[in-house]
Structure 1
Amino acid sequence: MSGTTNRRDPGLAFVGPFLLVYCLVLILPMLDGMWLSLHVIDVWGDGRFAGLANYGRLLADPVFAQSLVNTFVVTLMIVPILTAIALALALALNRATRGAAILRGIFFSSAVLSVTIVTLIWRFILAPDAGLLGEVAQAIGAEPLPFLSSPGLALWALAITTIWWSIGLPMLLFLAGLQQVPADLYEAAALDRASRWRTFVSITLPALKRTTILVVMLQTAAQLQLFGQAHLLTAGGPSGASRTVVLFINEVAFGRWELGYAQAAAEVLFLLILLVTLTQYWVTGRAGEGEHGR
């Protein structure tokens, strides 16, 4: 027994500092946030315990409901398109050539930019009066599209900006997945004279299943927390058409100083992200079990 204890001591010595920092940085603030969401409090006062009153307000708040719908809609706009473009780029650039390496660097370069720079670039592009797209439209005699001022186009402005900014990491993940596909599978397909489409459907896509699941789950969780683009590009407008949940939380916490109410909205968003992620994991796991069963 003493030998087993001695063997565990070095492991605890290595893991202990990490667990301590993890609890101090993540677990305790999370629990404190849950407790804060049960209070009516602002930054200047001590507040009072209100139970689930903040959550009841959220259920009846049309602004929060609209921000929730906007968040899910823009996530559905971004994730499928981003995944498809990243996969297409990975397939096109999966070559050991200097040109492919340069293009990989170019497509990844947007990922290193800050959200401020990204939104500034796309404001210059999307502005209908003096933006690049507006100038091109006027040059060909067309009417510029009001991406930043139209309720029907504001979410597309966020989606386009986010896809351009976020394309680098998913592309690299797909490239890494393609490197793991055995070359002899493609050689066998070539001997069988399989078409490129047949090879893609029968070999490449099944081999990239786990990578695709990873990309979709990461991007879904990221886009449900979209904030900077909505804050800097459209400011949530027009008329709240592009206000996301995180932007709503920011406005409530630092515009109206209702910290408890803002924290309750943050807890709802956390639960939604957790639910969506677990649902995706469960659905993909069941699909994988069905394939193995066949």
Structure 2
Amino acid sequence: MTTMSPTAPVTDGTAAPRAGQGGKVQRRTPQAWLFLAPFALVYAAFMVGPMIWMLVASFFNTSTVHEGLGSFAGFGNYVEMFGRDDFWSSLWHTLQFTLYTVPPLVVLSFVLAVLTNRASRGQWFFRLAFFLPFILPSATISLIWVFIFTPSSGLWSLPATLLGMDPGSGILASPDTAMIGIAIATIWWTIGFNFVLYLAGLQEIPRELYEAAAVDGATPWQQIRRVTVPLLNRTTGLVILLQIISSLKIFDQVYLMTSGGPGISTQVSLGLITDTAFTDNRVGAASAASVLLFLIILVIAIAQQIVSRVGTKREEAS
């Protein structure tokens, strides 16, 4: 009988795993690249390619009227955008919409998820009820809320009367309240996505932790504060990040509900970019505005991640 040395290599026809840094096993799987190739090609064609073209076009006087990139403009399109009042006003409206939507969408989705997770019966109904609006297209949501906000005859007239507002003046017709109306419609529409993320995180928390806290005399509020909130820090950071990015890219609801009006009181950054590219036929200037918006979103996202990590480290240290 022959014996195999402990150090003898395995020769069963398959490639043996390689030990990498830290003792981790690394496998070479060329088949994985074959499966990733279709997605990589589509991503490169419809995402990476247009982004590179947008960056290049931002340095030229590109137009939809003439073929090619047009004459070289250098940083002229960027300088122009920095000097345009409507660029800064649209950016402020975008940030205003973000401030209106991000806190309610984070807090309300967390509260609804906690209440649903504690419900002993009918959880499927609450999941369906809160998530159902999210699967509807933006055009449907916009039409629903335009009807709700219709002066006098819309469903908004009753709460408007209770709040002391004039139901005859529509919420979307006033520059002071139009963005609030769009934010209300957006919160109702998208809260289901954050709700599902929080609910999935809650179901990963062991019940034993709540039972131990209850034995120690913790009230339900103390359990949420001391157990639920700390264990959902990562989920909260993800929800905040995704919601900030989504709110900064607002376009559909504004275009369908107010078209940037009244006046330009609800014109957002993507609306300005669209008007510059397809109404003014100035693709180069619109590309410069797109690059600036991308950089703003990137900076805000990185800042949010840094703040989130610093807060997590402080809690772990304490």
- Please confirm whether the aligned pair reaches a TM-score higher than 0.5, indicating the same fold: yes
Tell me which amino acid in the other structure corresponds to 1:124.
F
1:181 aligns with 2:205: yes
Hey, what does 1:257 align to over in structure 2? Answer: 281
Worse-matched range after superposition: 154-163 or 43-52: 43-52
Cα displacement (A) at 1:35: 0.4
Q: Aligned runs of 1:188-227 on 2, under 5 Å?
A: 188-227=212-251
Deviation, structure 1 residue 143: 2.1
Shift of residue 291 of structure 1?
2.6
1:43–1:259 contact (8 Å) kept in structure 2: yes
Aligned to 1:128: 151
Match of 2:195 in 1: 171
Match of 2:10 in 1: none
Letter in 2 for 1:265: A
| Deviation at residue 188 of structure 1 after TM alignment | 0.6
Percent of aligned pairs sharing the same letter: 37
1:60 aligns to 2:108 (yes or no): no
Give the CA deviation at 1:104: 1.5
> Does the 8 Å contact 2:141/2:185 carry over to 1?
yes
CA shift at 1:132, angstroms? 1.5
> Which string of whole-angstrom CA distances, capped at 9 and with x for unpartnered residues, describes residues 146-197 of structure 1?
3111111111011101000001110000000000111111001111121111
Further displaced range: 240-249 or 140-149: 140-149
Structure 1 residues 34-45: aligned runs within 5 Å: 34-45=55-66
Is it true that 1:117 corresponds to 2:140 in the alignment? yes
- 2:51 counterpart (7, 21, 30): 30
Alpha-carbon distance, 1:290 to partner: 2.4
Give the residue type in structure 2 aligned to 1:41.
T
Residue 245 of structure 1, CA deviation: 0.4
- 1:92 match: secondary structure: helix
User: In the alignment, residue 150 of structure 1 is paired with which amino acid?
Assistant: S
Question: 1: CA distance between counterparts of 2:253 and 2:36?
Answer: 38
Distance verdict in 2 for CA 1:87–1:126, change over 3 Å: same
User: Quick one: distance in 2 between partners of 1:85 and 1:59?
Assistant: 37
Aligned to 1:150, what secondary structure does the other structure show? Answer: coil
**Structure 1 Cα separation of the partners of residues 216 and 120 of structure 2:** 27
1:141 Cα offset (Å) = 8.6
The one of 122, 125, 133 aligned to 1:102: 125
Distance (whole Å) between structure 2 residues aligned to residue 213 and residue 153 of structure 1: 30
Q: Return the TM-score normalized by structure 1.
A: 0.92
Residue aligned with 2:100, SS: helix
> Is 280-289 or 57-66 further displaced after alignment?
280-289
2: CA distance, partners of 1:191 / 1:258? 67
Distance between the aligned counterparts of 1:140 and 1:286, measured in 2?
Answer: 41
More displaced stretch, 10-19 vs 87-96: 10-19
| Cα separation, partners in 2 of 1:198 and 1:125, compared to 1, 3 Å | same
Amino acid at match of 2:81: L
Larger relative helix fraction: 1
2:81 corresponds to 1:85: no
Amino acid at match of 2:95: F
Matched residue of 2:122: which SS? helix
What RMSD in Å do the two structures reach over aligned CA positions? 2.2
Tell me the TM-score normalized by structure 2.
Answer: 0.85
Question: Do 1:93 and 1:101's aligned partners in 2 also have CA atoms closer than 8 Å?
Answer: no
In 1, the alpha carbon distance for the partners of 2:280 and 2:301 equals 31
Q: Distance in 2 between matches of 1:284 and 1:99?
A: 34
Aligned equivalents of 1:176, 1:141: Cα separation in 2: 40
The 1-side partners of 2:152 and 2:50 are apart by 45
Q: Distance in 2 between matches of 1:11 and 1:183?
A: 38
Query: Counterpart in 1 of 2:291?
Result: 267
Distance across 1 between alignment mates of 2:101 and 2:162? 30
1:49 to 72, 76, 79: 72
Greater shift in the superposed pair: 6-15 or 25-34: 6-15
Alpha-carbon distance in structure 2 between the residues aligned to 1:125 and 1:181: 39
Report if aligned partners of 2:233, 2:312 keep a CA contact under 8 Å in 1.
no
Amino acid at match of 1:167: I
Q: Which deviates more from structure 2 when the two are superposed, residues 249-258 or residues 139-148?
A: 139-148
C-alpha separation in 2, matches of 1:68 and 1:134: 31
Within 1, Cα distance between the matches of 2:163 and 2:33?
69
Q: Where does residue 98 of structure 2 map in the other structure?
A: 75
Q: CA deviation at 1:138?
A: 5.9
1:151-162 matches, cutoff 5 A: 151-162=175-186
Distance 1:137 1:283 in 2: 38
Count of residue correspondences: 291
